[in-house]
Amino acid sequence: MTEQPRSALIFGGAGFIGSNLAYDLLTKTEARVHIFDNLTRAGVHHNLEWLRQTAGASSRLQITLEDVRNSNPVEKAVAQATEIYHLAAQVAVTSSVTNPRHDFEVNLAGTFNVLDAVRKCGHKPFLLFTSTNKVYGNLGLTGLCATETRLTDSNYSGTSEEQPLDFHSPYGCSKGGADQYVRDFARIYKLPAVVFRMSCIAGPRQFGTEDQGWVAHFIYSALQRQPIVVFGDGRQVRDVLCIHDLIRAFESVRRNISVTAGQIYNVGGGMANTVSLLELIDRIEALTGHRLEYMLDECRPGDQPIYVTNYAKLHAHTGWQPEIDVSQTIMLLQTFWEANRELVAQHPLVAIEAFDLAGEIGGRAA
């Protein structure tokens, strides 16, 4: 049987993850690519131009400037898609605290619009939804110990999908509610849908700010000799996954949809790619030769002391595992900055809302 020509619809396709996915599809497959984005995130119009240049005169790239909160254009876009990647979101915990209604409308109502359009379209396209590790709250770790540079817990070996949901912010609520909607629509309407609960993703074309995209924010700030604020004591630990490994994970679940349909997967760099904020600062200096200056402030609402992905389920179902380590990811970000330093410099490295919130919860430390 001849395989149906691929037509990939990417909600939020001009963003960091979406533009990397679109580039991969345009350069490695014959798929038609449809970008659906409202272009509100700083810098994403540059990604769109990059994708236009990549597509050239091929007519394989379609662009719709719209918002997932508007159901009619969502339904129109879904009608012709064979695969859908729902990446459009309000992505910052701090922004969700200052404006929870906007967070709800984009993340939960927007996701419902996508799901309802998929339900009604009739041809059941593959759907991948990107959720977040924030749906697990603070994990309830009780054995935390502090070394000079990081927090540890000898009883913690990473977070699997068996971890109970525990929403600790409006962002956690909206993304968690959305990923449960995806899971239930997959079950009740027999849709081939998959949820990724992602840890820290980093890599080229990420315009990181204080509010979101912390790895890129740290690296660009160091390279531009700009000091930053570290919220908390800097010993918080995360696992970092390079964007290129994430795109491979997308393809791994699509190829194995007979197994992955209806499933939720935790996706991240795992134990081998953990780093604390303080350790990342040291790594940046070692790899780039530039010391990142910083000052400390109070911990932000919803911040997890430690989060590390257990991706064993995804590996068992698809064979996927990370291939690019933290140091290589830092080097990829440095290379992107060196090739696009004027472009990066056009966009603020500090999120104004984050500064306002810091003032609301106690002000900056001296």
Catalytic residues: 171
Using CA atoms, how far residue 258 sits from 253, 254, 255, in Å, is 9, 9, 8
**3-state SS assignment for residue 44:** helix
* Buried-exposed string 341-364: b where 16+ CB fall within 10 A, e elsewhere: eeebeeeebebebbbebbeeeeee
E strand spans, the chain: 7-11, 32-37, 61-65, 83-86, 126-132, 144-146, 151-153, 193-198, 200-202, 228-231, 237-242, 264-267, 274-276, 294-297, 306-307
**3-state SS assignment for residue 28:** helix
Q: Which of 142, 136, 36 is nearest to 89 (CA)?
A: 36
In this structure, the number of other CB atoms found within 10 A of the CB of residue 1 comes to: 3
End-to-end CA distance of the chain: 68
Could you write out the DSSP letters of every residue in 160-192? -TTSPP---SHHHHHHHHHHHHHHHHHHHS---
Residue 324 amino acid letter: I
Q: Which two tokens stand for residue 347?
A: 């966009």
